[in-house]
Amino acid sequence: MYGRDVQGKTLTFAVSGQLWNASLVMIDLETRSLWSHILGECVHGPLKGEKLPQLIADTMTWKAWRNEHPDTTVLNLSRSSKDYGAEFYTKPERFAYGFVVDGKHFHATFATLRESPVQNLTLNGQRLLLTFDPESTAARLFSRRLDDRVLAFVAADNGLIRDEQTGSMWNRTRGIAVAGPLKGKQLDHEPAIITLTRKWTLFHEDSTEILEKQQP
């Protein structure tokens, strides 16, 4: 998900009818520039080189979303795929959770996330927490820096995670401490994208794959 404000203007996007590396190319109606939906970047036209601001978005089961956000509203659109859900559950290696840290690309397949659902990462000097919740299928990337300390996390019962510094218990999908000395505190949520693994690596050949748990 991206913001639409570029150079002080709010752009209106549509499907261009073109493909790049078999992926959607968007067009903005204001300047007729072409944009890669994977990169969030203008690849042709007056705005070439401009990037859309990446926003935090979630991909998870409808049941889990309603539990977290009972007052949510729904944008009712026709379905564009009949088998995305089935493939996601049966072929998790086909899908990747990709993100950027200080200009460098990283990704983890959902097969890896299933095997290692709580990972303390140090990437380009940034202390990060990568989590996956099998029940909701939600992947999350958080900063492990909280106030003046860096936390390290381990899996706990009932789908929660626990920080080793204070013993506080945290909701792994929301990054909120639900019990312990840090109750009520929240980790900063970092943006990422869920896409086909082959698409992510095609557009980001330099991407480093997160394979297994790392030491904090």
Q: Let me know whether 184 and 92 are in one domain.
A: yes
Asked if pLDDT for residue 143 goes beyond 50, the answer is yes
pLDDT-based confidence at residue 216 (cuts at 50, 70, 90): very low
- pLDDT at res. 80: 64
Q: Let me know whether 37 and 142 are in one domain.
A: no
- Domain-located, residue 35: yes
Asked if pLDDT for residue 26 goes beyond 70, the answer is yes
Please state, rounded to an integer, the average pLDDT across all residues of the chain.
89
Percent of the chain with pLDDT over 70: 92
Q: How many domains does the chain have?
A: 2
Asked if pLDDT for residue 215 goes beyond 60, the answer is no
Q: Let me know whether 108 and 162 are in one domain.
A: yes
Q: Let me know whether 20 and 116 are in one domain.
A: no
pLDDT-based confidence at residue 191 (cuts at 50, 70, 90): very high
Q: Can you give the pTM of this predicted structure?
A: 0.81
- pLDDT at res. 141: 96
Per the structure, the complete domain to which residue 13 belongs is given by: 5-44
Q: Let me know whether 116 and 182 are in one domain.
A: yes
Q: Let me know whether 168 and 202 are in one domain.
A: yes
- Domain-located, residue 50: no
E-state strands within the chain: 5-6, 9-10, 13-20, 23-28, 34-36, 41-44, 95-101, 104-109, 118-123, 126-133, 138-143, 145-146, 149-150, 153-155, 160-163, 169-171, 176-179, 193-196, 208-209
Q: Let me know whether 28 and 70 are in one domain.
A: no
**Other residues' Cβ atoms within 10 Å of the Cβ of residue 43:** 15
- Domain-located, residue 91: yes
Q: Let me know whether 83 and 32 are in one domain.
A: no
Using one digit for the tens of pLDDT, what is the confidence trace for 95-131? Answer: 999 999 998 999 999 999 999 999 999 998 999 999 9
